[in-house]
Amino acid sequence: MDKLAIIGGRPLYGTLPISGAKNSALKVMAAALLSDEPLTLHNVPRLADVDMLLRLLEQHGASANFDGSTLTLHAKTIASTEAPYDLVRKMRASFNVLGPLLAREGKAKVSLPGGCAIGARPVDLHLKALTAMGAVIDLDEGYVLAEAPEGLHGAHVTFPFVSVGATEHTMLAAVLAKGETVIENAAREPEIVDLADCLNAMGAKVSGAGTSKVTVEGVDRLHAAEHSVLPDRIETGAYVMAVAATGGELTLTGARADLLGAAWASLEEAGVELEEIETGIRVRRNGARCKAVDIITQPFPGFPTDLQAQFMALMTTADGVSTIKETIFENRFMHAPELGRMGAKISVDGQTATVRGVERLKGAPVMATDLRASMSLVIAGLAAEGQTMVNRVYHLDRGFERLEEKLQACGALIERVKE
């Protein structure tokens, strides 16, 4: 199992390109199942999660051609409406093939997604939305058996709480449903807007994406289209925090300031200099320690839960005491004990972590527990004194494209150690 060896204490300087958003790419890839014509996607990151979904789409009958960051998918016919456990269990986003298969073929058999280290994240909202649209759903030995022999129809769907995955899944199913579907209390994340843009390019009629009310007017069929995936706001935020932790100055090409939501203000409050420029975002921090800042994770445009771990790593060396409250997922402080191995002073009480900043972390062997926690340990290692060895690097390969290469080009001493 590969590891990352990091010698910390070096500021970062230079230019770092931001890749396409993983969380968006996976959903627009699933949209390819909705049409018998090709879907060409640009700015697709080459990640383990993308490769896993490609395997699933090919199993359903889609052909795939990856050329650089351009991916062309063509599901001319659906060869199978079953998504087996071995493929779905590895990545939660795979479950989103259920809606497109059901909408196009009138039936689907999809494995329930596997457990997740950062919380249960049930799919009941997904299934309730599909049921409201006319699907007949049974659960059998870990599989969702769904049928809509007469096709799906429009429905009024109101979510009891904001769910990005359920909003996206309902949109994917509704575009081919008969009539109008209204989604109330919809998620407002940028990835929702990106999915709507892709679907509309394919001939769908989706309006209101980015607001709490999304309306989908069903159409008979979708056609060929091209779409460029938006830049990854979580990767952007992570590299901003890396500079904030180490010092230096980076130009993040392709990044968009509007995608960071409340994280932008929190970083500025901590003393990080951020500037929106024509090519992306410029970030700099002089030698002074960051200031302690309190955050609460919230749905967009609030502080994103996917940047909570990285922000905690930044706060470990901030001047003062910060509190971090996690409101989205349970069990999402598993990186705290690992940061503690590096000298961080963190106490956790339920869903709130209190971080007492220290002047300097010290390198240590640490173990990643999930994708975003992995990046928090990388950030800590870049800022720490001495060597940090990050174990379970496969988590990083799921969500950060060419991580070592990008950081090495900016002066970081980081390399992959193969075993």
Q: Which residues are catalytic?
A: 116
Q: Measuring CA to CA, which residue among 66, 61, 54, 163 is closest to residue 104?
A: 61
Query: Is 391 one of the annotated binding-site residues?
Result: no
Burial string for 130-149 (b: 16+ CB within 10 Å, else e) reads bebbbbebeeeeebbebbbe
In whole angstroms, give the CA distance from residue 191 to residue 163: 12
Q: Is 306 annotated as a binding residue?
A: yes
* Burial class of residue 216, CB neighbours in 10 A (0-12, 13-18, 19+): buried
- DSSP conformational letter for 113: P
Query: 124 among the known binding-site residues?
Result: yes
123 appears as a binding residue in the annotation: yes
Q: What is the DSSP letter of 348?
A: E
Residue 264 Cα distances to 20, 238, 402, angstroms: 19, 12, 24
Consult the annotation and say whether 337 binds a ligand. Answer: no
Task: Decide: 337 and 316 in contact? Cβ < 8 Å.
Answer: no
The two counts, helices (H) then strands (E), for the chain are 14, 24
Q: Is 256 annotated as a binding residue?
A: no
What residues form DSSP beta bridges with 417? Answer: 3
Cα 384 from Cα 6, distance rounded (Å): 9
How, if at all, do strands 107-111 and 3-7 pair? unpaired
- HSE of 316 in the Cβ direction (CA atoms, 13 Å)? 33
Q: How far apart are CA 170 and CA 167, in angstroms?
A: 5
Q: What are phi and psi of 357, to 5 degrees?
A: -65, 140
User: How does strand 387-391 pair with strand 3-7?
Assistant: antiparallel
122 is in an annotated binding site: yes
22 annotated to bind ligand: yes
Token representation of residue 63: 């052909």
Cα 325 from Cα 391, distance rounded (Å):
26
23 is in an annotated binding site: yes
49 is in an annotated binding site: no
- Structural contact between residues 270 and 244, judged by C-beta atoms closer than 8 angstroms: yes
| Binding site feature residues for UDP-N-acetyl-alpha-D-glucosamine | 92, 121-125, 306, 328
| Binding site feature residues | 22-23, 92, 121-125, 306, 328
| Binding site feature residues for phosphoenolpyruvate | 22-23
